[in-house]
Chain A
């Protein structure tokens, strides 16, 4: 009977492992809540942005290019139509001036978004529950491209106006 016992244990382990893997794939991967890479501890501060682009929970928060924390959560504030982004900053970086600014930046041309914090000059530091007042929104590539083409178009029409009298003079 020992044989049948080890057989059943082996099968049981295999089936449990398989179902654990299936459960991971179905519940964790398509989820919106972050379970991996989400840091515990540290303190949280809020920053409000006009437009966060495709910033996501779990995106890095950096100062001078060094990661000091992560985006904890993002929600839309219907009162002032802004995005309230909660940043979780590691405890060792507790001396961030209160008047620092936060801007949303892009890693590379197509890379993910992250938040860069530029230090201010204040003597008081950000605390748990604090707020970063100065923010700069994400640069949305499409609107940039639109602006560029709008500029080109207006320049083009200006040149035509300039050309028109010149052509008449030649006649």
Chain B
């Protein structure tokens, strides 16, 4: 725990390596973990269904803000009919996946880390290993998988709710024509844009879930260690999501 920059760098590289190894280990157990689908369903419930309310509420408000600001800006150019295009592309490509991933890291990622960390500090994981039960297969893999499956669904819900939030403000309050709103949107959005959003949300789901389970599994088995690990989950996930978002956006731009 010294502030020596050299050891910080070494620690950082070690974390990256550890996470990669951990990722491979979990991947190897993904298929066997399907033997207990009940465990995965429970994790989808924990990561997905219980994050649904916060995701929907946030989506609604983000969409409404998009409607207000988008209308205000587009109005200056006399093209407020394009509000739907702005809202749909913004939601699909950036706001939906990124904000959902950040909420997901805060809502589901932290609970994953602290749950696994607490299991570790109360020696439940060790006990499993004593009984020849593989904790990676029965604890980690279902949680990882549940997170990956839940993320795209959450992001899609976020985008749709946000789009209707933008419509609520734009059409109901600001008086944009509802036909122009949707017809311009349908004309401007193609399947590639939708695919971009889905790919992003899957990648973010993998990153957030991996970081969450890794931090939990490798935390110091003390109350303080669990707390630190939870903090690290939020920080690393957020930075990772924003970084990946840039890379994916650039990749999708050059492909066209």
CB neighbours (8 Å) of A22 from chain B are: 152-153, 156, 198
User: Which of A10, A17, A37 is B182 in contact with, Cβ under 8 Å?
Assistant: A37
> Which of chain B's residues 54-87 have a Cβ closer than 8 Å to chain A?
77-82
Residues of chain A within 8 A (CB-CB) of B82 are 110-112
**Is B204 at the interface (CB under 8 A from chain A)?**
no
Secondary structure type dominating chain B contacts = helix
Q: Does A24 have its Cβ within 8 Å of any Cβ on chain B?
A: yes
Tell me if B183 and A37 are in contact (CB < 8 A): yes
With A21-B160, A22-B152, A22-B153 as given contacts, are A11 and B48 in contact (CB-CB < 8 Å)?
yes
Decide yes or no whether A59 CB sits under 8 A from chain B: yes
Interface centre among B153, B177, B179, B180 (most CB of A within 10 A): B179
Q: Within the assembled complex, what's the spacing in Å between the Cα atoms of A71 and B184?
A: 13
* Residue A152 lies at the interface, judged by CB distance under 8 Å to chain B: no
Are the C-beta atoms of A34 and B194 separated by less than 8 Å? no
Q: Say yes or no: is A57 at the interface (Cβ < 8 Å to chain B).
A: yes
Partner of A109, one of B49, B77, B92, B189: B77
Contact (A24, B187) CB under 8 Å given A15-B153, A36-B178, A111-B81: no
Is B42 at the interface (CB under 8 A from chain A)?
yes
The distance in angstroms between the C-alpha atoms of A38 and B45, with both chains bound, is: 37
Cβ–Cβ contact B160 & A108, under 8 A: no
Pairs of residues from A and B, 8 with the lowest C-beta to C-beta distance, nearest first: A108-B78, A18-B153, A58-B183, A58-B179, A14-B49, A21-B156, A37-B178, A37-B179
Task: Apart from A8-B41, A18-B153, A59-B180, list 17 A-B contacts with CB within 8 A.
Answer: A10-B45, A10-B49, A11-B42, A21-B156, A22-B156, A22-B198, A25-B198, A30-B191, A36-B178, A56-B187, A59-B179, A59-B183, A108-B77, A108-B79, A110-B79, A111-B79, A111-B82
